[in-house]
Structure 1
Amino acid sequence: MTIALVTGASRGIGKAIALQLADDGMDVAVNDIQTQLEDLEAVKTAIEQKGRRSICVVADVSKEDEVINMVESTVKQLGELNVMIANAGIIVAKTMFEISVEEWDRVQAVNVRGAFLCYREAGRQMIKQGKGGKIVGACSTAGHRPSGNTFAYGVSKWAVRGLTQSAALELAKHDINVNAYCPGPVDTAMWGEIDASIQRREGLAPRVAFEQSIQSRVALKRASEPEDIAGLVSFLASPKSRNITGQSILVDGGISFS
């Protein structure tokens, strides 16, 4: 039995990943913050309706003690931990001159410290189990080519790329693969924040910035859906990816090419 833990799983990409891993035959612990508990419980129910076990674990990934407790709770209730998906993240859609120090710190705390803590605690548990494992983090096309409209977010995703490479090197001897996924525009609440910010700054109608981004940047001329990202994560969490590690893989419809 494979046990997965998905952070930020109450909606959007995290929800799609959790449901996909359940379809792949995994039992899935789902995490989010307290204010998202109602939506998180709905995801848990959907996983159970697929015939898999699931638990909700409320935690703020930027807080060390809560991440430690999140992993311990998963192992205690589901048996072990084989797959960690460090998906949780936030965005502040502001330029370098608009963002405050407090906003900067919060983005880095969730997106970078949160990923680090999830990688570290999952790695620690997987080493203890002695069976290897899969750790997958949330990067972004912004981690390959940043945008000025999301200054702190872009910097945080470059950090996730570095974190993923460093962790992959350190954990390789334990047969633990560490990779990240890099979405482009996905029609989720996070992109809604970006769209609203550009709308205010440039006086555009709702969703115009989103559609313009698709048409001007994406080779396939279509936005990604959460399920597109979940498909890549499904592969990275499976035995089929056993010889892939340290990679931050683009799944953006053709914005950046590596």
Structure 2
Amino acid sequence: MTVAHVTGAARGIGKSIALRLARDGHNIAVSDLPSMEKELEETRKQIESSGVRAISLYGDISQPQSVKKLVENTASGLGSLDIMVANAGIAQTKALLDVTPEEYDKVHAVNGRGVFLCYTEAARWMIKQGTGGKIIGACSIAGHKGFPLLGVYCSSKFGVRALTQSAAQEWAPHGITVNAYCPGIVDTQMWVEVDRDLGAINKVGKGESMKAMAQGIALGRVSTGDDVAGLVSWLAGPDSTYMTGQSLLIDGGMLFV
């Protein structure tokens, strides 16, 4: 049975992805920060109710040794690492002229370096296994288009697109595909916080910023974690074997590129 690792799986999109991959029949390692222990353990229990094996791991994806241990403990705990979903990420809503270098570095440490570390450590392990694998990263519509007040976040997600393309080319000879998923507006805690911060800047009420952005969605609604998880399920499965280096929009029709 194949083994998938999903980072940032305590809640939101990561949790939806982990639960979907469990329903697909993969054994699952879920990881998140130690501060998210209660939520992550709940995710693990729900995965096990699907009849597959699951382990919960804790670490900081911005730190090399932490990611190395996450990968090693996945393989030792479940027998292999066949699918890596580098999902964990953070958002920032702030005018560029107000962003400090420290704030810039914090966003890129998680969204940029964190994805890089998950990609490379997973690839090293998959190459050692010799059986190929699938590496899947969290990008965004913000990796295809820059948005005001989200400039640093956008720059980190553009980096994920470039990394995905480069990694796909380097690791194809090892039978490893590398792709990313690009959600739009998702009904998660992260977007609640983005709405709050945009509202404070633009002096509008709760929910108004998200409502205004959602008016541009062709399908007429914001997405759920399950919408995104469906795409990741396909990327993790056999039908996507001939796709690599792509960052796929799953936004209900916001961008057309």
Same fold (TM over 0.5): yes
- Partner letter of residue 196 of structure 2? A
Q: CA RMSD in A?
A: 0.6
Query: Is residue 2:100 matched to residue 1:100?
Result: yes
Partner of 1:74 in structure 2?
Answer: 74
- Gapped runs of 5+ residues in structure 2? none
Partner of 1:189 in structure 2?
Answer: 189
TM-score by length of 1: 0.99
In the TM superposition, 1:83-122 aligns within 5 A as: 83-122=83-122
- Partner letter of residue 49 of structure 2? Q
Partner of 1:52 in structure 2?
Answer: 52
Partner of 2:198 in structure 1?
Answer: 198
| SS in structure 2 of the partner of residue 97 of structure 1 | helix
In the TM superposition, 1:164-179 aligns within 5 A as: 164-179=164-179
| SS in structure 2 of the partner of residue 148 of structure 1 | coil
Partner of 1:249 in structure 2?
Answer: 248
Q: CA deviation at 1:214?
A: 0.5
- Gapped runs of 5+ residues in structure 1? none
Residue correspondences, number: 257
- Partner letter of residue 97 of structure 1? L
- Partner letter of residue 162 of structure 1? A
Q: CA deviation at 1:250?
A: 0.1
Partner of 1:127 in structure 2?
Answer: 127
- Partner letter of residue 91 of structure 2? I
Q: CA deviation at 1:180?
A: 0.1
Partner of 1:160 in structure 2?
Answer: 160
Query: Is residue 2:235 matched to residue 1:236?
Result: yes
Q: CA deviation at 1:80?
A: 0.5
Determine what percentage of the aligned residue pairs are the same residue: 51
| SS in structure 1 of the partner of residue 206 of structure 2 | coil
Partners of 2:73 and 2:213 lie apart in 1 by: 41
Partner of 1:19 in structure 2?
Answer: 19
| Segment of structure 1 superposing worse, 130-139 or 197-206 | 197-206
Partners of 1:153 and 1:37 lie apart in 2 by: 26
Partner of 1:220 in structure 2?
Answer: 219
Q: CA deviation at 1:156?
A: 0.1
- Partner letter of residue 7 of structure 1? T
